[in-house]
């Protein structure tokens, strides 16, 4: 008999642990308590709570917030989720009328609302961190306007550019990331509370009042959709994944540039490690970690998408699994932004190595363009210069080895053809080009945008 009781207790504990979401959703305590305070005020407006009860509940909820924040709150896993834990503690503090706080409210519309609140708060924080990273990029670009380097296509040297032009490409990527986050904020900015479990509330709640209290711009129009929708999280995780992919690309570029084969950039000591075996190594571990974390963030996005794809309307317990990918992606992306900001801030660029890498055939396109300006069809000019590079290669030479006279002779042209690295760069004067004038304009615009 004793064994059977033990088995029952063990079974009950096992089931409780399996169904509990507390380990994740307790992170949402701030939003949950804010919602409960606003809801207590709404209940007071329809006389479910009297003024004294409402004030008492609000005070107790604020005390619970302090307890959780100061790590003095006793979480009870057997109560399954954050809502039940807070409501139980509220009962301890104010007595039986604490149960009134659940009048007309379901955990379905409550979690859908606090997750939207969390997403909105997270977006504001991530937006700020992206802007901090952008500021470091823009400042680095502004202070390196006289650094030249090769641009690359297919990881092959292409045309000469300013280093600042390359850095500002990162800025532009992050601008799009911010725009996506703002769109996610707009999508999330809709109050679900008042939808009840699925069919809407029986009580005459003032949803406009609740929306104002909780800083929601809109109120949902369909209770079924409201409690079953997780599109706003999927959209958010998609945006994070795209932005994390951008950080991964920057990381990859810096990893290549910091190698002994390139030596374009020197990373600070606090973001590299030595090998456990080879003492000479400076491994770009932090950049590799940022690059590596993209896989997990992409997995989080796919995970929730797959969870939702076959669910009938409206709420299903599967949706409890939305918190793990949400919280993990926010944490990893946030940390990656902070670390990338420090990496860029402390990195040093090797001016000579960057410029020396422009030796070779990097001005080949400029020569073809000059021939074209003299009346030669561009396709013919392209072939002519291509053949020249092939002949020079057989001789162990490149275009930069030739002086102006030699270049003219080998191309067999009857005019003085001159090419110059800085002339090439500054000839790209159209908006979006690499000329110093255009890059300066881009930096000035960016500084105004960022209020730098």
Q: What pLDDT, in 10s, does the model give residues 68-114?
A: 999 999 988 888 788 889 999 999 999 999 999 999 999 999 999 99
- The question of whether 223 is a catalytic residue gets the answer no
Rounded CA-CA distance 60/37 in Å is 10
Contact 119, 183 (CB under 8 A): no
Both tokens assigned to 450: 């960022």
Both tokens assigned to 147: 């650094």
Query: Residue 24: is its pLDDT beyond 80?
Result: no
Share of the chain above pLDDT 70, in %: 95
Of 19, 23, 275, 404, the active-site residue reads: 275
Strands (E) across 78-189 are located at: 148-153, 156-162
Of 154, 221, 276, 310, the active-site residue reads: 154
Q: For residue range 342-355, list pLDDT tens digits in order.
A: 999 999 999 999 99
> By three-state DSSP, how is residue 190 classified?
strand
- The question of whether 154 is a catalytic residue gets the answer yes
Which runs of consecutive H residues, i.e. helices, occur in 258-310? Answer: 285-308
Rounded CA-CA distance 114/110 in Å is 6
Supply the pLDDT for residue 1: 46
Is residue 179 reached through a cis peptide bond, with omega within 30 degrees of 0 on the bond before it?
no
More confident residue, 176 or 276: 176
State the DSSP string of 308-329: HTTPPSS--GGGGGGHHHHHHH
Ordered structural domains, the chain, with CATH: 2-103 (1.10.275.10), 108-196+221-356 (1.20.200.10)
Which of 84-88, 164-168, 312-316 ranks highest by mean pLDDT? 164-168
Supply the pLDDT for residue 431: 95
Cα distances from 417 to residues 177, 370, 385, 392, 413, in angstroms, run 44, 8, 13, 18, 8
């Amino acid at each position: 008999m004793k064994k059977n009781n033990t088995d029952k207790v063990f079974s009950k504990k096992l089931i409780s642990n399996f169904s509990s979401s507390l380990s994740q959703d307790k992170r949402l305590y701030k939003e949950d308590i804010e919602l409960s305070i606003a809801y207590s005020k709404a209940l007071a407006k329809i006389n479910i709570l009297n003024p004294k009860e409402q004030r008492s509940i609000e005070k107790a909820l604020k005390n619970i917030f302090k307890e959780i924040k100061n790590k003095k709150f006793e979480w009870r896993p057997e109560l399954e989720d954050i809502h039940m834990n807070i409501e139980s503690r509220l009962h301890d503090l104010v007595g039986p009328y604490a149960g009134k706080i659940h009048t007309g409210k379901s955990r379905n519309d409550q979690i859908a609302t606090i997750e939207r609140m969390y997403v909105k708060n997270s977006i504001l924080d991530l937006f700020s961190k992206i802007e901090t990273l952008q500021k470091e990029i823009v400042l680095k670009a502004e202070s390196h306007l006289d650094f030249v380097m090769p641009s690359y296509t297919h990881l092959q040297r292409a045309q000469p550019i300013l280093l600042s032009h390359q850095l500002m490409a990162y800025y532009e990527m992050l601008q799009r990331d911010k725009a996506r986050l703002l769109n996610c904020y707009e999508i999330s900015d809709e109050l679900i509370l008042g939808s009840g479990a699925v069919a809407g509330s029986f009580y005459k709640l003032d949803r406009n009042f609740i929306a104002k209290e909780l800083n929601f711009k809109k109120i949902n129009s369909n209770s079924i959709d409201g409690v079953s929708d997780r599109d706003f999280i999927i959209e958010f995780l998609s945006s994070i994944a795209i932005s994390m992919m951008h950080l991964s690309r920057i990381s990859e570029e810096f990893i290549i540039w910091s190698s002994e084969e390139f030596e374009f950039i020197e990373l600070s000591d606090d973001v590299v490690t030595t090998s456990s075996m080879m003492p000479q190594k400076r491994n770009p571990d932090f950049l590799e970690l940022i690059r590596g974390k993209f896989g997990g963030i992409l997995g989080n996005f796919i995970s929730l998408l797959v969870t939702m794809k076959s669910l009938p309307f409206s709420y299903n317990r599967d949706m409890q699994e939305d918190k793990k990918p949400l919280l993990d992606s926010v944490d990893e992306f946030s940390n990656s932004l902070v670390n990338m900001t420090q990496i860029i801030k402390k990195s040093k660029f090797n001016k000579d190595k960057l410029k020396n890498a422009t030796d070779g055939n990097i001005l080949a396109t400029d020569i073809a363009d000059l021939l074209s300006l003299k009346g030669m069809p561009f396709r013919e000019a392209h072939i002519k210069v291509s053949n020249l590079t092939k002949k020079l290669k057989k001789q162990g030479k490149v275009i930069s080895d030739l002086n102006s006279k030699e270049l003219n002779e080998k191309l067999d042209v009857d005019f003085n053809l001159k090419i110059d690295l800085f002339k090439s760069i500054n000839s790209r004067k159209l908006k979006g080009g690499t000329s110093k004038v255009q890059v300066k304009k881009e930096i000035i615009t960016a500084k105004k945008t960022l209020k730098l």
